[in-house]
């Protein structure tokens, strides 16, 4: 068999979520006594490609060239499916990123493979049975999906599997696939990266603000705390609906689902729809002036107090901790 | 422009999720079903794009007769007509195969889905439809501007955004930002009763996946309350006890 992992890059670099996915692919390969091949598409340099070996990739297929420089869903899906065929892969692993979510279903159809999106744990395998635990009902539950097809596609949620360094080395090979013109109908006009900010879906720490912050002019405190902690910023739905923050920051059942190590919620009530998208965070801190706010029921640490008094003090305490660390 | 909007019938967002039969079945007892919130966004944008007689909006749902209230809601919001493929939606692959079969016989210029359904959160139908119909697909878009022969869409990427132009026909999954959901008015509700709703029988499809059981997240321990003056204590606990900073 062999396990194939698609190593998505952002501007030529792999992110932590990819090291998680490679580690995850390695663990599946070990369960089945087989090897891991990573496929990388786009212009990534040799050292970066070889670094995938550290997390358990035995081989890296490198697809480069100008045509495939930027992400085109259809074309990338074709390349990954061809790589899986070449390697005889029985399992294809992707990271459940925005791009991964576009690719997984297309690859699934190409390979006639069942797709487990939103996977949060290693598959449970027995003879003739392959089950993957995935999030369902927007984080209010998990479902065990049994994939019954010969090939399986799994999209792993960032922060749900640990990075494991095996210290191995990967052999890098150039790989090329004949591309179809029809794969390039969609054309990229512009890519805008906000390099100074931590991206929300794969952030390890998230500082989030709700309607309790009263207005966009008060977000400076949220941003300052986030910057000190190397965190991404987020918000509740009414905040983005009111235009205080962009839609891309809205977390919850109808926003982005996040599972950081630490989620700090300030002035957010903890409505069921908000909790749905954040409750799989490992540690939750809630700051709210209402001791009855439902968020306290799911929090690990809480401060009952006015955000306008607590946040400046918390910022000062974090600065002090940083200075002494 | 002929637009197809794929809609799903999902548990209301306030639903507390429970299971029966030894955690193998979702407990629908007392659960209110609604039009999937992301599909409302797709529908709203489709109606805007065809406003003033510039085209038609067909909604399609794979579901048994109990989803007709949701389909009628979509008609009340402003869809032109509706199709129900008479089957239990087994999984995304099953749904995509049924819709693709319909589209092969009845082509559209633009096919919209919601970015995901709020029950199984797969975000797979758009991509699978794209592949089954050999059309471009974008799974999660934040903006959709329609031109005559192509559309400009914006999609989110980790830490940024990407702007694409795509010629029709194509498939896109809509997220917040694409449009504001529309509320049906009295005229819409009245006319929805008489708008065409075709019922189509499903085709055979191979099965690749099956949900075998469910679980609910482990309950969290009690919250540790820290006095508002002692933020240093919180920082210390996050460092030494929770080990997250
Ligand atoms: C279909 C649907 C989908 C939805 N999806 C989502 C979703 O994905 N994400 C989401 O977030 N919501 C969602 N909602 C909305 C959700 O139901 C709540 O309305 C929303 O989460 C509330 O946001 P909030 O807590 O910021 O605001 P509020 O409910 O107004 O709460 C503000 C909180 O701030 C506290 N507060 C006020 N002043 C201060 C202060 N000075 N210091 C400290 N605390 C203070 C208050 O005690 C209160 O708890 C959805 C709703 C529907 C109907």
pLDDT digits (tens, 9 = 90+) for B190-200: 999 999 999 99
* pLDDT value for A204: 95
Of A44-48, B63-67, B103-107, B217-221, the poorest mean pLDDT is in: B217-221
Question: A242: helix, coil or strand?
Answer: coil
Question: Partners of A54 in the beta sheet?
Answer: none
* pLDDT value for A196: 73
Q: Are A133 and A120 in contact (CB under 8 A)?
A: yes
What are the chain B neighbours of A120 within 8 Å (beta carbons)? none
Confidence of residue B159 (pLDDT cuts 50, 70, 90): confident
Looking from the CA of residue A238, the nearest atom of ligand 1 is: 23
* pLDDT value for A144: 98
What are the chain A neighbours of B96 within 8 Å (beta carbons)? 105, 109
* pLDDT value for B13: 96
Confidence of residue B158 (pLDDT cuts 50, 70, 90): confident
pTM above threshold 0.90: yes
Q: How far is CA B90 from the centre of its chain?
A: 15
Res. A195: pLDDT tops 80: no
How many angstroms separate the CA of residue A243 from the nearest CA in chain B? 11
The proportion of chain B whose per-residue pLDDT surpasses 90, expressed as a percent, equals 97
How far, in Å, is the centroid of ligand 1 from the Cα of A214? 12
Task: Measure Cα distances from A312 to A147, A210, A255, B13 in Å.
Answer: 50, 17, 28, 34
Mean pLDDT of A267-276: 98
* pLDDT value for B208: 96
Pick left, alpha or beta for residue A2 (phi over 0 → left; psi -120 to 50 → alpha; otherwise beta): left
What are the chain A neighbours of B122 within 8 Å (beta carbons)? 105, 115, 117-118
Ligand 1 pocket mutation, candidates A137, A208, A267, criterion most atoms within 8 A of CB: A267
- pLDDT digit string, tens, across residues A214-256: 999 999 999 999 999 999 999 999 999 999 999 999 999 999 9
Residue of B nearest to A132 (CA): B211
How far, in Å, is the centroid of ligand 1 from the Cα of A272? 9
Question: Could you tell me how many residues make up chain B?
Answer: 245
Sign of CA dihedral A172, A173, A174, A178: negative
In this structure, the number of other CB atoms found within 10 A of the CB of residue A72 comes to 23
């Amino acid at each position: 068999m062999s396990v194939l992992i698609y190593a998505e890059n952002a501007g030529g670099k792999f992110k932590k979520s990819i090291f998680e996915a490679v580690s995850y692919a390695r663990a599946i390969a070990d369960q089945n006594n087989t090897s891991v091949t990573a496929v990388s598409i786009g212009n990534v340099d040799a050292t970066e490609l070889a670094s995938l070996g550290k997390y358990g990739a035995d081989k890296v297929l490198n697809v480069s060239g100008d045509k495939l420089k930027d992400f085109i869903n259809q074309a990338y899906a074709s390349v990954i499916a061809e790589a899986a065929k070449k390697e005889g892969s029985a399992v294809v692993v992707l990271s459940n990123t925005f791009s991964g979510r576009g690719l997984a279903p297309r690859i699934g159809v190409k390979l006639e493979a069942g797709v487990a999106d939103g996977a949060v744990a290693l598959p449970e395998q027995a003879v003739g049975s392959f089950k993957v635990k995935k999030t369902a009902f927007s984080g209010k539950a998990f479902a065990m999906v049994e994939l019954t097809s010969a090939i399986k596609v799994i999209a792993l949620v960032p922060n749900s599997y640990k990075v494991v360094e095996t210290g191995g080395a990967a052999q890098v090979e150039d790989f090329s696939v004949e591309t179809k013109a029809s794969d390039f109908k969609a054309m990229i006009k512009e890519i805008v990266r906000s390099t100074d900010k931590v991206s929300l879906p794969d952030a390890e720490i998230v500082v989030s603000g709700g309607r309790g912050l009263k207005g966009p002019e008060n977000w400076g405190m949220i941003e300052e705390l986030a910057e000190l902690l190397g965190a991404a910023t987020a918000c509740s739905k009414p905040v983005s609906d009111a235009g205080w923050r962009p839609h891309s920051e809205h977390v919850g059942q109808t926003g982005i689902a996040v599972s950081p190590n630490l989620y700090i919620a300030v002035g957010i009530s903890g409505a069921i729809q908000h909790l749905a998208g954040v409750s799989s965070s490992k540690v939750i801190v809630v700051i709210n002036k209402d001791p009855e706010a439902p968020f306290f029921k799911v929090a690990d640490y809480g401060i009952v107090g006015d955000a306008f008094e607590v946040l400046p003090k918390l910022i000062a305490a974090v600065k002090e901790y940083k200075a002494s660390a | 422009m002929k637009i197809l909007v794929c809609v799903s019938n999902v548990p209301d967002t306030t639903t507390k999720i429970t299971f029966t039969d030894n955690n193998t079945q979702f407990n629908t007892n007392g659960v209110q079903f609604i039009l999937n919130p992301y599909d409302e966004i797709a529908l709203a944008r489709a109606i805007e794009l065809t406003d003033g007689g510039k085209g038609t909006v067909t909604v399609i749902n794979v579901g048994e007769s109990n989803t007709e209230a949701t389909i009628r809601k979509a008609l009340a919001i402003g869809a032109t007509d509706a199709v129900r493929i008479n089957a239990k939606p087994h999984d995304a692959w099953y749904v995509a195969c049924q819709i693709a079969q319909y589209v092969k016989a009845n082509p559209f210029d633009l096919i919209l889905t919601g970015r995901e359904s709020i029950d199984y959160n797969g975000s797979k139908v758009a991509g699978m439809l794209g592949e089954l119909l050999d059309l471009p697909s974008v799974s999660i878009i934040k903006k959709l501007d329609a031109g005559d022969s192509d559309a400009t869409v914006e999609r989110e990427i980790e830490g940024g955004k990407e702007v694409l132009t795509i010629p029709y026909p194509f498939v896109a999954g809509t997220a917040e930002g694409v449009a504001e959901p529309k509320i049906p008015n009295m005229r819409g509700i009245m006319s929805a009763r008489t708008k065409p709703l075709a019922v189509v029988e499903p085709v055979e499809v191979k099965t690749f996946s099956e949900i075998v059981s469910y679980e609910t997240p482990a309950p969290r321990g009690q919250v540790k309350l820290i006095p508002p003056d002692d933020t240093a204590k919180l920082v210390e606990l996050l460092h030494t006890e929770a080990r997250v900073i």
